[in-house]
Structure 1
């Protein structure tokens, strides 16, 4: 993402905390700025804090090959405080000054060029793309082409404040509506077809809930390949989808990914491929829950990326184990029962470990196993959750009818 930002930007503002100085992510950003060969301004933030040390910032920047003004170089450094507003006018003045030293001229009469920075699917307005206009004038009614492919016609434009506008000049970030196909993040869109020298199939991403072609990992697999976790991944935006995908380790195979809420097609595709469904900032309606339960498909939704990644890491943790045995993940005692459709929900208190949606469980009555099943839903109050830790209470729904009783024990297990 930093790389894409540096490629789109005309001027880079490197924000460095005056109390923490240069960090590894700062060095990464510096390298991206250098590769993009764009002018740089350093904004030393948090100068209002008592431990702010501008001399340390300058020295650390010099170690990272950034020589600022007054320290052997010509890179502007502006002390600021985002909290108090100190230094912000000086930073804005410096941006204008640097802009005058480079050619940022545009021609509003030329066909527009805009760089795609984000995509997302809106329930009421359909496919939306956030773009920055780089040249020309973007107007309602114009066609949208990526390379040689027409991907829509602009039906509406919204500015950064969410206000509808009829046109957008160069330099403005706007959201456009009227797409039939999502453009690739970082792609340049225009009102006419312009073919790149090396067109790529990845230049255009259609929103779809499942692939029309089965992936090649469904062919005979080796022992190592079988030990991979297959995932159908859904997210609210293309940027989020990309960020999550880049963080997954090689033991997780994304068989399908897309933008938007979890659909019935996702459930059917997950069943066909033996996958689980992972959603981030998306919803799954009651009909999807019922279908997933019927088709024995596990799905989980998250609002925090680190929680998503931690839980997936938990799942694949034992994939490389060669022996097969049961390992207990957690226990819960059934303390109540509640009717639900034609079955019962087990009111449960977790007594050790944790219980998670999708867990294989054994239901024990007086040390005798009376059922082996899966947890398809866990609720705390009206909220559906993915995981419940020791000491918490929840409602557990199994994937089949279980004739349990109060004080029976639920034991979550995994095969390793």
Structure 2
């Protein structure tokens, strides 16, 4: 049974249940947490005691929660009879601490626990704890921190069990992974992004799907903002995101936002594949999102769907009818032809991918768009991805926070809750967040404020630091992904022949464990779009006989994206091969650099055994590896922790000189032993 289920069963506010259990030492509680049998027994036992008590005047009720006091003040004008009846009902939500409960016999340890904090947990005065510490020979003040052994000793003496407190860094809540039980997961609507070339009918298609006139509200018929809408087909909801271009999609993905489940690629049957069509394919592939191709304007006399299919096949989108795995739909958004078939295909892909979420927990999701409204203040369009967002919820959004004062859906209707894959417009944040920011609901408003302030501070600190560079020299640490490593490349050339030759040569580079991944290739100058994609994907840009424009250079400098320009194919291959070798795990080889013989030993307190040695060969270096050899057998292997010549600390001692050596964590050194000094050198990959 969860906290929320217990709350419904006994008509108790979940915050009071959480507060009661927190007083008993339980941590990380929220309405979706599963209660143990022990917790349920404790709560039920106490509720029984509370119900049996007589109604108490709320003015003098010690246990009355602030929540109830607020409610009582609002309704104080009611009749005395109703007031007494209400107090009896509200008593169910008051859960005092039961001193003799089993759950109260556990205290929690963290590294910051002080004498005062321990006294509070043990229900003693700080003076008593200090007295107990003095009996143990420990002198401490109220604010002094205690180690785990001392806390455990005091807890055991007082009859308490000590457990380690699991502390989660909630300031990086995006990284918190909540594992849902399979039985809690329900099917959620797919989130679909419509992309394509300008004027190929993206918004008209969305208009046809929604059966409304979205296009007429846009300036000049061009989408001016990111809109999120929901439609229903065959009883199943589908969420659509209409982007103003690939730049927004790229910016959101560069910030780690993964909101899209399916990409609809709109291509006009009369125009065919255009530059932005290729860009859309690149972005969808980089985000690892399945693509459904919608060939639009098939009703036009000049329409040639087969030519479009041929062009897209050359880009790797082979139709199912031709033996591939890409779904194609022929539509006319203007005449609303083929729309039902497209929606059926979306539902089919969603069903295959088994999109699920848990609606019965605190909501998390992503900002789709945000703006500052003169009358309403910061207004944000949020996409709920897990849990259920409700009016009144306290949430942290990026570096901002607030309480949901009002929610409206895509049809401008006021709603009280939003389930997974639902886009909603929210009012109540203290500042305007950024598109692509993640959000998470918290139970405590003070905690949310602290987390938002900490995130804002961290963000400011990061702005002062150098932006993440995307260069050949630094790619090893950035794009290493598990056992498979990739070198992402955007390739631009002056002519198609050079482009094909370069691409083929790069694909032939064979370096074990690393593969070359060309995420985009094309003929023509290096553009700002190339830089945006490189920044989002951690790629470098290779230009062959082409140059970037001034604005492109500025953007690349700002985004710290490396652009490499060549006019000889061999130089390109050589540089990329070196970079890919650099992505391999380094191979080290041992090199013996010196040998010393122990002539005399000295035992020094607090240091250990010092070996008086004579260097027979090479050089002995401080902090290098060391082997102690006795009668030709390696006795111990460690490192040289200190090296002295007479009274001076030295870095190295050469052949023919005497020195004093100590070996880290080893004292059993005898006269006649030999100390072999070695280092590990990185071997160049052939």
The TM-score bracket by the shorter chain reads: 0.3 to 0.5
Which has the larger share of strand? 1
Give TM-score, length-normalised by structure 1. 0.46
Please tell me whether Structure 1 or Structure 2 has the larger radius of gyration of its CA atoms.
Answer: 2
TM-score (norm 2): 0.29
